[in-house]
Amino acid sequence: MACTTMLVGRKATNDGSTIIARNEDCENGSFNAKNMVAVEPEDQPRRYTGVNSHLTIELPDNPLRYVCVPNTDKSDGVWAEAGINAANVSMSATETISSNAKVLGADPLIAYQPAQGNPGDPDYKAETPGGIGEEDLVTIILPYIHTAKEGVERMGSLLETYGTYEMNGVAFGDDKDVWYIETIGGHHWIARRVPDDCYVIQPNRMGIDKMDLTDALGAQKDYMCSADLPQWMADNHLDVTMGTDESQVGDQFNGIPAVFNPRDAFSSRTWLDMVYNNPRAWYLYGRINPSSPEFHGPNAIYHEQSMDLPWCMVPEYKISAMDVKDMLSSTYDGTIYNCYGNLGTPESRHQYRNIGINRTCECSVLNIRPYAPKVAQGVQWVAFGSGPFNTAVAVFSNVKNIPHFLTSTLDVTTDSLYWMNRLIAALADPEYFANMSAISNYQQETMAAGYESLHATDAALEKLEAEKGIDPTDMDNEAAIAILEEANQELSDKVQALTNDLLGAVLFERSLHMANAFGSNDH
């Protein structure tokens, strides 16, 4: 399993924006080259067929423009992963999550079944398409939604119609709300709105720990779910709450308590959760809430392997896009579990799965800024390669063209941020401490340049409105888009120059420590 997700409500951020973010991590032994692209409405398919599922879906005729980060190699599908559309709605898909046998037996996943035999033979069986999955979701959802909640509604409808072949969590954001949806078996789903003053850490496990069926089947202010969820749960004996729990006293739906913990009912509780999933959430919650007695001190409620970690928490300080990038790059810094540290033992330093792992192919921090001119509210901070060694570039999303440096080929090249950051990570890793000063300076300088670009571009757009009467709410205004594209290009050029300098520095450091090094004073 792969990926780590972080979500932040607007009252928990430093600027009142919403943030949804995720490390897109490849499976063990694989590294996917990634592109950043802008997709125009005329380039969006009207009939979509999944490579893995062989499922064909007819898509609406009115797609929005959007940016995303698909695979460079399309032979296994698009895998668009994360992006923002021209309605300033963000989407990240997906966080691979776990389930249990009871759930998958009650609503099996919809896997592709290849054809058997030859056409015309008496025993021939035609292929059966699978459901939808990570390969498809951004492409078939993001261009058609105008709010985060609409994202949940569209995905829920697609799940109920076509099913899914895998368990996933998906995040949506707009200028007010962040919603998170989790698939339950083949066709069912639940969703919860992130409280405005909270943040969420979501590793590869079902995370939502509260469902209010009264709201989900009624006003849908903070919760949503499949319409038949309570009946399905009752029919398949999926309620595991104890009747003595005071929180369960009250309304019921088909015998299911109106308020229950869906993680207990639908998720896994295995040793893999304890070493692969839970430690990531434990570490980040403790880092963002450094004085919380729940995570610190001799009587801490939660520890590294706790199965009941909260889904959301109120942070002790307001969180920025910079903070999110830093959190998603971490390797249990300052603990005995840090693979680059000198605390603990060799065993403890590799006991738990890192957040900033070697096989991250991209991390997108999707930021919707309500105070900015509407044409510039969507910003995708995109980072390629392994988090501890890379940087994030602040890219305005309401554009038609992406700087060349943010694209990639399948061949290794120094003309691509993806490959440059991959090279830097591989060279710097063996001499981590010798290189970290240069890398930290690079990260700070490039991200500061990103913030500078945001401030300058907002001001330029406001000036354009004042002097030329340009409507800042017109997402198709060519003059405004040109300013955004120019800002993206200028920042990309600056990042490219700084990345080239860093590559030279880490190459020099690695060269000094080659095994065949020998000087006249070495003996």
Active site residue 363: no
Angle, CA 510 vertex, CA 506 and CA 511 arms, to 5°: 115
Q: For residue 523, what pLDDT is reported? A: 65
Q: How confident is the model at residue 470 (pLDDT cuts 50, 70, 90)?
A: confident
The C-alpha atoms of residue 509 and residue 520 are separated, in whole angstroms, by 20
Range list of H helices, 47-164: 101-106, 137-141, 148-162
The C-alpha atoms of residue 358 and residue 385 are separated, in whole angstroms, by 8
Burial class of residue 243, CB neighbours in 10 A (0-12, 13-18, 19+): exposed
Beta bridge partners of 150: none
Q: Which residue is catalytic, options 3, 198, 225, 312?
A: 3
Q: Are 339 and 350 in contact (CB under 8 A)?
A: yes
Q: For residue 132, what pLDDT is reported? A: 98
Burial class of residue 171, CB neighbours in 10 A (0-12, 13-18, 19+): buried
Residues with Cβ within 8 Å of 86's Cβ and at least 6 positions away in sequence, in order, are 64, 65, 66, 398, 475, 476
Q: Read off the pLDDT of residues 88-115 as tens digits, 9 standing for 90 and up.
A: 999 999 999 999 999 999 999 999 999 9
Q: Are 93 and 138 in contact (CB under 8 A)?
A: yes
Chain centre distance of CA 271: 24
Q: Read off the pLDDT of residues 371-395 as tens digits, 9 standing for 90 and up.
A: 999 999 999 999 999 999 999 999 9
Q: Are 165 and 111 in contact (CB under 8 A)?
A: yes
Cα→Cα distances 269→198, 211, 308, 489, Å: 25, 19, 10, 47
The C-alpha atoms of residue 113 and residue 136 are separated, in whole angstroms, by 18
Q: Read off the pLDDT of residues 301-327 as tens digits, 9 standing for 90 and up.
A: 999 999 999 999 999 999 999 999 999
pLDDT, mean of residues 34-38 = 97
Checking if the pLDDT of 245 tops 60, the result is no
* Residue 455 CB neighbour total at 10 angstroms: 10
The C-alpha atoms of residue 8 and residue 21 are separated, in whole angstroms, by 9
pLDDT, mean of residues 431-454 = 98
Q: What is the DSSP code string of 289-332? A: STT-TTTSSTT-S--TT-S---SEE--SS-B-HHHHHHHTT-S-
Q: Read off the pLDDT of residues 110-137 as tens digits, 9 standing for 90 and up.
A: 999 999 999 989 999 999 999 999 999 9
Checking if the pLDDT of 353 tops 60, the result is yes
**What is the SS3 assignment for 30?**
coil
The C-alpha atoms of residue 407 and residue 282 are separated, in whole angstroms, by 35
Give the residue among 80, 82, 67 at the shortest CA–CA distance from 19.
82
Checking if the pLDDT of 248 tops 60, the result is no
Burial class of residue 489, CB neighbours in 10 A (0-12, 13-18, 19+): middle
Q: Are 257 and 237 in contact (CB under 8 A)?
A: no
Residues with Cβ within 8 Å of 84's Cβ and at least 6 positions away in sequence, in order, are 66, 67, 90, 91, 366, 368, 378, 379, 380, 397, 398
Residues with Cβ within 8 Å of 309's Cβ and at least 6 positions away in sequence, in order, are 278, 281, 282, 285, 302
Q: Which two tokens stand for residue 261?
A: 């913990």
Give the residue among 9, 366, 6, 20 at the shortest CA–CA distance from 195.
9
Indicate the CATH number of 4-210+261-371 among 1.10.3470, 3.30.1450, 3.40.50, 3.60.60.
3.60.60
pTM of this structure: 0.97
Checking if the pLDDT of 157 tops 80, the result is yes
pLDDT, mean of residues 20-38 = 94
The C-alpha atoms of residue 22 and residue 83 are separated, in whole angstroms, by 11
Checking if the pLDDT of 243 tops 90, the result is no
Checking if the pLDDT of 2 tops 70, the result is yes
pLDDT, mean of residues 220-229 = 98
Sign of CA dihedral 138, 141, 144, 145: negative
DSSP H helix total and E strand total for the chain: 12, 21
Cα→Cα distances 180→4, 148, 150, 169, Å: 14, 9, 12, 7
Q: For residue 246, what pLDDT is reported? A: 52
